[in-house]
Amino acid sequence: MNETCVIDASDPSKQKKVVQQVVDLLHSGEVVALPTETVYGLGADALNADAVAKVFAAKERPEFDPLIVHVGSYEQVAEVADVPEELETVVQKLMKAFWPGPLTLVLPKKSCVPDIVTSGLPTVAVRMSGHPIMKAVVRGLGRPIAAPSANRFGRISPTSASAVEKELGGRIPAIVDGGACREGLESTIIRPEAGEKRPVLHLLRAGPVTKEMLQRFGKVERPKRRLSRKDRAQANPEATQQAPEVPGQLAAHYAPRTPLRVLRNAAEFKPEAGKRYALLSYCGSEKAGFIQAHAWDVVEELSPGNGKLAEAAVRFFFVLRQLDESGVDEIIAEPVSETGLGVAIMDRLRRASYGSQSGAGGDQTRS
């Protein structure tokens, strides 16, 4: 096992030196974990297929799961994507409204983008991060960076450098510690398409840019499907199901090692004798009935006392990781309202539940 260097980027006076150190590593074909405003990403030169292959190897990520490409300017989009004439106006409006920030656009790709980045698909997922370190590194490299979340495939996304080290320590040469991520959930992913009256924005992954925020730019359509046993098979690299169009579409994802169940209400919880249970609560309110439903061994709250979805989103992966490391036998999660950011939180919870229960048999998610 190789040693992983953690590079402290907290001192603004040293960030220029840190950025150059990272750029040199990326130029040499190495991979580096970098902070973004959503989660930490494992970055490589997006136009270097050999470097991108190291990302897949470090994460143990199947090659059917495409990556997001990070750009440093609006002009750099044209280096990796061909924006159809009929979409130019809406794409420009979306970039102006949400970039730099947590919105990813799926666009027709250019031939210079290696197939390993897009899993052989004719499209490429592109975004511009709002994190100053990621922005500076992309601009310093002068080339786009492919950067999926810096964790082992299917596991809990990292929102701190220490979480990255737990996931990938010894597997990658360097981690840039840029502090905690301010959004806490992966970017929203949409695929714009020309419509009869208005553009159609296919919402492929829910995230910090919500459906309500997107509606003024076009008709927002979400895939109308429930997670099923058939969906779960997509999480198996040997399965013959259709490969995902973008990251985060597999049924089993964002998963703790500890089994996790999402319940509609507290009355559904029937504890087994001798098992230790943790509760993942939204805000610790007794009105939901979960807090008093059991003598929980561990309780963690997403938005303690407040019930604010923005705070819950920021804390989500941090709290989930704490519960996973608490030593309990099972995590019980109460639902949050599926409005605004709640849609993205519930999406992650459902996929985390499927992932943690894989191989257990049966559909144990009741949300």
Pairing relation of β-strands 103-108 and 123-127? antiparallel
Q: Is 282 annotated as a binding residue?
A: no
Q: Confirm if 21 and 136 have CB atoms less than 8 A apart.
A: no
Q: Is 61 annotated as a binding residue?
A: yes
249, HSE (Cβ side, Cα atoms, 13 Å): 21
What is the rounded CA–CA span in Å between residue 265 and residue 111? 50
Measured in whole angstroms, the distance separating CA 178 from the mean position of its chain's CA atoms is 17
Q: Is 111 annotated as a binding residue?
A: no
Q: Is 27 annotated as a binding residue?
A: no
What is the rounded CA–CA span in Å between residue 97 and residue 246? 22
Q: Is 228 annotated as a binding residue?
A: no
Q: Confirm if 333 and 264 have CB atoms less than 8 A apart.
A: no
Tally Cβ neighbours within 10 Å of residue 269.
Answer: 16
Residue type present at position 211: K
DSSP state of 155: B
The string of DSSP letters for 46-101 reads TT-HHHHHHHHHHHT--TTS--EEE-SSHHHHHHHB---GGGHHHHHHHHHHH-SS
Q: Confirm if 148 and 68 have CB atoms less than 8 A apart.
A: yes
Q: Is 294 annotated as a binding residue?
A: no
Report the length, in residues, of the chain.
367
Q: Is 143 annotated as a binding residue?
A: no
Q: Is 205 annotated as a binding residue?
A: yes
Q: Is 157 annotated as a binding residue?
A: yes
What is the rounded CA–CA span in Å between residue 249 and residue 190? 12
227's tokens? 């997670």
Q: Does the bond joining 100 to the residue before it have cis omega, within 30 degrees of 0?
A: yes
Q: Confirm if 112 and 47 have CB atoms less than 8 A apart.
A: yes
- Smallest CA-to-CA distance from 106 within 122, 119, 93, 129 is with 122
- For the CA atoms of 261, 262, 266, 269, the dihedral, rounded to the nearest 10 degrees, stands at -20
Residues in binding site:
38, 61, 70, 123, 127, 147, 149, 157, 187, 205, 254
Tell me the binding residues for L-threonine. 38, 70, 127, 147, 187
Residues in the annotated binding site for ATP: 61, 123, 149, 157, 205, 254
